[in-house]
Amino acid sequence: MKSDVTIGILVSFLGIMVLFFSQRIISGITKFDVLTPHFFPTIIAICLIVFGLGLSISNIINYYKKNQSISNIKKEKERVDYFQVLKVILLTIVYIFFIELFGFILTTIIVLGLLMYLFGERKLIDIVIVSIVTTSLFYYFFVRLFNIALPTKIFLYR
């Protein structure tokens, strides 16, 4: 419980920082345009603040619903699997390196599949379907809706 409240507060703080710095983005667009360069960072910052506060508040409410007082709680140690964290960090570094070589689609499908396997999913059909559908949705939103270019190389060819 304590770690979820802390994470919620940190996420909210991150949202406040993103909101602060996104408002400092200089744009050549008039005040009447809706999609200024700081529009999407502002939306993301507001979501971070709301979800971070929601996480903290919901954990505090659940804590008091269990009729436990803070003074009676023993410090509970959460077991952190540092090897698992190291694997995720290494997989992220590999992803950053290979996305330029093999493109967004192929690299993301493989990395999502590996992450699902790493976190305990063992059904191959679920890994394949979720990886392909998630990557397709990300690609559609970024390329088609937001008109943001993603790396498209496939096997070192463009």
State the burial class of residue 149 (Cβ atoms within 10 Å of its Cβ: 0-12, 13-18, 19+). exposed
Provide the pLDDT for residue 126. Answer: 93
Give whole-number Cα distances, 154 to 31, 140, 149, 151, 157, in Å: 41, 18, 15, 9, 5
Determine the Cα–Cα distance for residues 12 and 8; give it in Å rounded to an integer: 6
Provide the pLDDT for residue 135. Answer: 92
Provide the pLDDT for residue 112. Answer: 94
8 Å CB contact between 93 and 41:
no
More confident residue, 44 or 27: 44
Residue 77 has pLDDT above 50, yes or no: no
Residue 37 has pLDDT above 80, yes or no: no
> Angle 104-118/82-102 helices, nearest 10 degrees?
170
Determine the Cα–Cα distance for residues 49 and 60; give it in Å rounded to an integer: 17
Residue 81 has pLDDT above 90, yes or no: no
Residue 89 has pLDDT above 80, yes or no: yes
pTM above 0.85, yes or no: no
Residue 68 has pLDDT above 60, yes or no: no
More confident residue, 157 or 76: 157
Residue 76 has pLDDT above 50, yes or no: no
